[in-house]
Amino acid sequence: MIESLVELQNIGKIYWRGDAEETALVSATCSVKPGDRIALVGPSGSGKSTLLHLMGGLDQPSTGSISWPGLGTCENLRPQKVSYIFQMQSLLPPLTVVENVELPLLLGQIEATKARKAALETLNRMRLNTIADKLPEELSGGQAQRVAVARALASRPQLILADEPTGQLDHPTAQHLFDVLLDSLEGSETALVVATHDQAIAERMNTIWQMQHGVMEVVTC
Ligand SMILES: Nc1ncnc2c1ncn2[C@@H]1O[C@H](COP(=O)(O)OP(=O)(O)OP(=O)(O)O)[C@@H](O)[C@H]1O
């Protein structure tokens, strides 16, 4: 039996704004296994980002339990076992492309020369080596997101959580970014969970988790 990377049991999440409560998730039960390709879809405010944050240990549930059988504990998930890809502008402006890509490795206590080597290899593989020394402000939106993908891949994580990674790109650029991401993961056991409003991207995944007012329904394609 394959061990899950992350397992959620009856997870609920309530946010408080002063005295007002906002229910973001209602009793979500799901798991992610190695090699899974999961699209998280649903209207704005339906709980997609909340679920991703919980799966990555960035936040804690209000009710229910969450565990990472194949990864360890909440404290040792990042930056090497779980990587994130956010929407736009997640690169650090003062750092060059290669410095941005190697940063999670350095934060994970990887030796500097090894981190630089892994970052450059990833940039080469993604044909981004020609922009390795550029600053984020010198990149197009599509290039910046490809670098964000490279940064997520460089540490060879077991789980990638992507929160609308193509949200601010035009359709062809979004599709290209996704081609690059899926090509890079081809044959690997790295699991991918991607929150997206893009139906074309959702259809390229094996499983769809449909969110509606914090309630999840799993649809296997
Ligand atoms: N930090 C927070 N404090 C209070 N309420 C929050 C917080 N984060 C999210 N919420 C609320 O929780 C609900 C779910 O939000 P969430 O960001 O998870 O939705 P989403 O599906 O990712 O939306 P979008 O597609 O717009 O990114 C929303 O009603 C939102 O207003």
By percentage, how much of the chain surpasses pLDDT 70? Answer: 99
| Measured distance CA(168)–CA(166) in Å, rounded | 6
| Contact call for residues 149 and 90 (beta carbons, < 8 A) | no
Least confident of 33-37, 68-72, 131-135, 171-175: 171-175
* 3-class SS of residue 179: helix
Mutate to test the pocket of ligand 1, among 22, 193, 196, 210 (most ligand atoms within 8 A of CB): 22
* 3-class SS of residue 79: coil
pLDDT value, residue 220: 65
Give whole-number Cα distances, 209 to 20, 159, 204, 216, in Å.
Answer: 28, 16, 13, 6
Q: What is the pLDDT of residues 88-117, one digit of tens each?
A: 678 999 999 999 999 999 988 899 999 999
Ligand 1, atom 28, lies closest to the CA of: 45
- Read off φ and ψ for residue 211, nearest 5 degrees: -105, 140
Residue 1 lies in a domain: no
CB of 165 within 6 A of ligand 1: the answer is no
* Angle of helix 112-125 versus helix 97-107 axis, rounded to 10: 130
Which atom of ligand 1 is least distant from the CA of 25? 14
CB of 61 within 6 A of ligand 1: the answer is no
b/e code 201-215 from CB counts within 10 Å (16+ = b): bbebbebbbebeebe
| Contact call for residues 122 and 188 (beta carbons, < 8 A) | no
Residue 134 lies in a domain: yes
Residue 183 lies in a domain: yes
Ligand 1, atom 31, lies closest to the CA of: 45
| Measured distance CA(103)–CA(99) in Å, rounded | 6
Domain count for the chain, please give it: 1
Domain that holds residue 64: 6-220
Which CATH number belongs to the domain containing residue 184 in this structure?
A: 3.40.50.300
19 DSSP 8-state letter: T
pLDDT value, residue 166: 85
Q: What is the pLDDT of residues 48-81, one digit of tens each?
A: 999 999 999 999 999 999 999 999 888 888 777 9
Q: Which two tokens stand for residue 200?
A: 């074309």
| Measured distance CA(153)–CA(149) in Å, rounded | 6
CB of 75 within 6 A of ligand 1: the answer is no
Give whole-number Cα distances, 46 to 27, 91, 207, in Å.
Answer: 13, 27, 18
Q: From start to end of the chain, where are the E strands?
A: 6-17, 20-32, 37-41, 63-67, 82-85, 159-163, 191-195, 207-212, 215-220
Res. 138 pLDDT band, cuts 50 70 90? very high
Give me ligand 1 centre to Cα 212, in Å.
Answer: 12
Ligand 1, atom 24, lies closest to the CA of: 44
Amino acid at 69: P
